[in-house]
Structure 1
Amino acid sequence: MSFPEPVTLVDKGLGNTSYLVDLGDGRALAVDPCRDLRAMRDALSARGLRVAFGADTHLHADFLSGARQLASTDSASVLASAAGDRKFDHTGLRDGDEIDLGGLRLRALGTPGHTDEHLSYLLLDGDRPVGVFTGGSLLVGAVARTDLVDPARTEELARAQYRSVRRLLELPDEVAVWPTHGAGSFCSAPAGAERTSTIGAERAGNPVMRARDEDAFVTELIDSLGTYPPYFHRLGEANRRGPALLPRKLHIPAMTPPAVAAVQAAGATILDVRPVPSFAAAHPTGALSIPLRPAFVSWLGWLAAHDRPIVVVREPDQDLDEVLWQAAKIGYENIVGELAGGIDAWTAASLPSISMALTEASPNPGIRVLDIRQRAEYQAGHVPGAVHIELGDIAEAADRLADAPTVVMCGHGERAMGAASILAGHGLTQVSVLDGGPEEWAEANGQRLESGP
């Protein structure tokens, strides 16, 4: 290969990968850049590159694209499907169209399925294909879900996905596979998978390729589909219109505790991003717990409204930029401020606060066990008799739950604390959070985990 391997920029929270290709003359191609361009800018600076092209494989549902931002700040040319009907300047491509990158060429391949207008991009060095950016089509060990455009069209798009993947697998074995969606994505990538692969490896080892025919492929794909955050319904159209341009530095004001209490009374959400033990010790009454970590962004988009003001509570050593940029990636521009002085200032002002019991696994046969993990996690192994309600459904289900002694569990405690904070907001007063997971609880209670529904 006469050019360096693409730089992979992994967003562990969203489970996605953006790519930078060094074009050899100080310019670079960015594929599926995210709106949070900090890591990409660091990579560009370290290599002395500037982005000349920003290519999107599809209208993303799980993050806002950074391609329009790169066009504005870096004078990059945006490459995208002509069928996407984007409402901002771009070069619209159709199946078979090619772009001269200056020595390398990029060929658009129509690969509908994940979305209608989905393109993969084949990178050619002369006439030799060296790699293909597959976006949400062929993934490592999987293919992407097909129910995001319209649930009524899931089967239709699954059949299109079958044909698209088969087309990609006709490429030579040595061609690299560079997908966007990867482990951690709600777009159906398996946990623990590698981020990149080759056509030969996927032809030989991708489980969905072992389906005996198209019907079996469609059945297997549809049966594997789990739930996904509600913001997925909005971002495709937001990417079509073009995300709003952002400054290099995001900023929110510090608000006094009385000011925060006033906006909360008017309908704002107090979002507490502190670690689980800190939230358990004390937090503003009614606050929503979503600890700041890589998965923060997905749960923000699942649990907090995008159209109500949000005020952040954090520890002094937590990075406010990280909170704001993670939120911006999924279009949450409704964070109006942060609590000045944090929880200490709140309690000093004698404003309402509560604690949440954080419990170790111990014998407790009479307590209700509430498992709030995803369906696949629950079915892989759960405490006998556990009530299963996914975290994303807790708010809707809370009013149906009797106020009884309850321990909430997930894998480690972060998601469980989010669920507990929602339950407390609905008036349940006997809730505790397991510091640990189902294995610890089952062992302490002399049980074995059960699998299945």
Structure 2
Amino acid sequence: MIEIVAVGTPSLGDRSYLVTDGEVAFVVDPQRDVDRMLRLAERRGVEIRDVFETHVHNDYVTGGPALAAATGADYHVNAADPVAFDHRPVEDGDVIEAGAMRLRALATPGHTFTHLSYALEVPGRPPAVFTGGSLLYGATGRPDLLGPEHTGTLVRAQYASAHRLARELPPETEVYPTHGFGSFCSSTQSEEATESTIGLESKTNPVLTRGEEEYAESLLAGLDAYPAYYAHMAALNLAGPEAPDLSPPHRAGAAELRRRLRDGEWVVDLRSRTAFAAGHLPGALNFGLDGSFAVYLGWLIPWGTPVTLLGETPEDVAEAQRELVRIGVDRPAAAATGGPADWVCAGGEKPAALPTATFADLSAVRRERPVVVLDVRREAEWRESHVPGAVNIPLHDLPARLGEVPPGEVWAHCATGYRAAIAASLLSAAGREVVAVDDTYTPPPE
């Protein structure tokens, strides 16, 4: 009996897959922390013999080379990809057998030029297809990550690839994408879909229900910004990343934390925004583990800046490390655990507090005195609706545009409070008077 196990990485919005016939297994698009796959295989008592990449990823560092090295598996990568490591080249039409399972490679360019999907064909069960960043649930992978000069070509290739899958695979074919669960590699996000088939996508997915021009125009019009760290992922993946070092980082005391802040390094508080607001190390930045921690940290930090992690427990630090190695931030400079009282220097330094408020509070205070309303949502969100008189500087632009924030008391908001807390910590570290709006944004009445 064939078992397909989805291994989700919700923080990045991706899924990897372990597929087994009960004796042997293969893996599709593994994340960097391959110990998860190794544990799955061990629990099932199966041997991983093959590892497949659908494409050179832009949103995470692959675990493919490390998993192949750890298991002795064959590592299958498109023959056209200029990788710098040992692998088994695979091309359109190639068939690979793993135990009772048979995989057929299908060229599906669009997300990248060399993108492959893999059709799983096993007698006695419906076929399945692993579509990576091609056909997603209700969407497709975005075609603009390789540069604007290629976007027009890739969006039309994506359309043709989706139609190839719908044409060549039967309607009952199960669809298993890598992206589309929150990843910025998706052109749009799925509506909480957890499974689908070629037949269902043919009835509901815009790439299969619209004409090519309508699909292309709609997709391109809806594309928004994507994380800055994506620029570094392809190079790391082409070089063949090794297994990450997840051992505990160097422990820093209060004096060292203060020195690192003076040197311009990032000291990152992993606690919730509520805990951070109640008290924190002055100058620390708040990227809570309870949100899209790695995405926003990787998006905002100048690449290569040393990072020190502050967590309530060693487990919090370990979780943050695991998140960061997935985007190529391999080793924290240091870490500290406990709370603000443990992180401030003796001799008079005290934890800082950050005022928080609701949108009702914001409305009330604007009737009393002028304040700067800073909306840190992305431009597409801003265009849909915004607070009258607010200034829009998307969070990912804020570190470089702090000087554009008008003078005065700043009330920072986003859609739910997570990004506003990051923005407020950046502004506070820069010496601005700031209030974080920790509330859900509701469009004002028209």
Aligned length: 437
1:347 positional shift: 2.8
For residues 212-244 of structure 1, give each alpha carbon's deviation from its aligned partner in whole angstroms, at most 9, with x where no partner exists: 2x2222211111111011110110111011113
* 1:81–1:92 Cα contact (<8 Å) kept: yes
Secondary structure class of the residue paired with 2:120 = strand
Q: CA deviation at 1:330?
A: 0.3
Question: Is the CA contact 2:2–2:20 (under 8 Å) kept in the aligned structure 1?
Answer: yes
The residue correspondences of 1:223-302 to structure 2 (distance < 5 A) are: 223-247=221-245, 249-302=246-299
- Tell me if 1:96 matches 2:99: no
Deviation of residue 128 (structure 1)? 7.8
Query: How far did residue 297 of structure 1 move?
Result: 1.2
Equivalences for 1:1-20 in 2 at 5 Å? 2-4=1-3, 6-20=4-18
User: 1:325 matched to which residue of 2?
Assistant: 322
Residue matched to 1:445: none
1:98 positional shift = 1.0
Is the 1:358–1:435 contact (alpha carbons within 8 Å) kept by the matching residues of 2? yes
Match of 1:33 in 2: 30
Unaligned runs of 5+ in 2: none
Q: For residue 419 of structure 1, what is the amino acid of its counterpart?
A: A
In the aligned structure 1, how far is the partner of 2:420 from the partner of 2:178? 29
CA shift for structure 1 position 286:
2.2
Partner Cα distance (1:277, 1:242) in 2:
40
Q: Normalising to structure 2: TM-score of the pair?
A: 0.92
SS in 1 for 2:185: coil
Residue 318 of structure 1, CA deviation: 5.1
TM-superposed deviation, 1:348: 5.0
Q: Which residue of 2 aligns with 1:183?
A: 181
- Other-structure match for 2:158: 161
Kindly indicate whether the alpha-carbon contact (under 8 Å) linking 2:291 and 2:418 is maintained by their aligned counterparts in 1.
no
Q: Secondary structure at the match of 1:354?
A: coil
Of 299-308 and 169-178, the range deviating more from structure 2: 299-308
For residues 274-301 of structure 1, give each alpha carbon's deviation from its aligned partner in whole angstroms, at most 9, with x where no partner exists.
1112211222232221001251111111
Match runs of 1:72-87 below 5 Å: 72-87=69-84
1:71 aligns with 2:68: yes
Q: 1:389 maps to which residue?
A: 393
Structure 1 position 101, deviation (Å): 1.1
- 1:420 and 2:419 equivalent? no
* Offset, 1:77: 1.4
Of 383, 405, 411, which residue of structure 2 is paired with 1:401? 405
- Partners of 1:224 and 1:115 lie apart in 2 by 19
Given that 2:22 and 2:44 are in contact with CA atoms closer than 8 Å, whether structure 1 keeps it comes out as no
Tell me how far 1:317 sits from its aligned partner: 7.0
C-alpha separation between the residues in 1 aligned to 2:327 and 2:162? 28
The separation in 1 between residues aligned to 2:284 and 2:336, in whole angstroms, is: 12
* Partner Cα distance (1:339, 1:11) in 2: 25
SS across alignment from 2:344: helix
SS of the counterpart of 2:194? coil
The answer for the alignment partner of 2:220 in structure 1 is 222
Superposed CA RMSD = 2.0
Aligned twin of 1:434: 437
**Is the Cα contact below 8 Å between 2:6 and 2:18 reproduced in 1?**
yes
Q: Which amino acid aligns with 1:324?
A: Q
Structure 1: 5+ residue runs without aligned partners? 443-447
Displacement after TM superposition at 1:419 (Å): 0.7
Q: Which amino acid aligns with 1:158?
A: V
The residue number in structure 1 matching 2:200 is 201
Q: How far does residue 326 in structure 1 lie from its aligned partner after superposition?
A: 0.3
- The CA deviation at 1:155 is 0.7
1:312 aligns with 2:309: yes
Alignment correspondent of 1:135: 132
CA contact (8 A) 2:313 2:337 kept: no
| In 1: Cα distance, 2:139 partner to 2:400 partner | 31
What one-letter code is carried by the residue in structure 1 that aligns with 2:176?
Answer: W
Q: Work out the CA distance in 1 between the residues paired with 2:164 and 2:291.
A: 34
Identical aligned pairs, as a percentage? 36
Distance 1:393 1:383, change over 3 A: same
2:362 maps to 1:364 = no
Alpha carbons 1:257, 1:340 under 8 Å: kept: no
**Secondary structure in structure 1 of the residue aligned to 2:309:** strand
Letter of the aligned partner of 1:407 in structure 2?
A: W
Q: Which amino acid aligns with 1:238?
A: L
2: CA distance, partners of 1:343 / 1:179: 42
Q: Choose 335-344 or 55-64, whichever is displaced more.
A: 335-344
